[in-house]
Structure 1
Amino acid sequence: MATAETDVGQLSFEAALQRLEEIVRTLEKGEAPLDRSIELYQEGDRLKRHCEARLKDAQARIEQIAFGNDGKPAGVKPFDAG
């Protein structure tokens, strides 16, 4: 039997984000019983961490074109968002 943690890990970034948005809307309505709200909050936290990890992974794979002194492309270097 798969756990919720495992299920979240299998989601694409887009699917995880969509589910997180659904959870936020549900919690904002305030209509869920307390126990269900707690479960949703915990699932939302797992989804948030999953999305952050996927974004960090993607950022690490992005490369930036490096230009030489002559202004021509001279290769690539890791992207620095800072």
Structure 2
Amino acid sequence: MARKPKTPDFEQALQQLEGLVEQLEQGDLPIEDALKAFEEGIRLTRDCQGILQQAEQKVQLLTEQDGEIEVTDFPGNGAPSA
């Protein structure tokens, strides 16, 4: 049985998006290719947003205690640690 193509993970999608932006910024793509690159960039942006939303929901579920969300700083985000 054939597998469905896997959605790229966040890092892969972001890397592809950065490559498309570089191509578009050069300004030498024919208009059809530029439109295709733009459409692909929009799709990748939506994929990244969806991945981030899922991660945020997962973090909220993991940090929920007694029916309330406990807001905590993550290590490495620039906040001083206690």
Q: Note the residue ranges of structure 1 that are not aligned, 5 or more in a row.
A: 1-5, 67-74
2:49 counterpart residue number? 52
Matches of 2:58 and 2:41, distance apart in 1 = 26
Is 1:17 matched up with 2:9?
no
TM-score of the aligned structures, taking structure 2 as reference length? 0.68
* Pairwise CA distance, 1:65: 6.8
The structure 1 segments of at least 4 consecutive aligned residues displaced by more than 2 Å after TM superposition are: 63-66, 75-80
**1:27 and 1:48, CA in 2 relative to 1: closer, same or farther beyond 3 A?**
same
- Describe the superposition over 1:8-43 as per-residue Cα deviations: whole angstroms up to 9, x where unpaired: x61001000000000001001101110000000000
1:39 aligns with 2:27: no
Other-structure match for 1:64: 63
Q: Per-residue deviation at 1:64? A: 2.5
Structure 1 pair 48/25, CA: closer, same or farther in 2 (3 Å)? same
Distance 1:53 1:79, change over 3 A: farther
Counting aligned pairs with the same residue, the percent is: 30
- The answer for unaligned runs of 5 or more in structure 2 is 72-82
**Alignment RMSD, CA only?**
2.7
Q: Which has the higher strand share?
A: 1
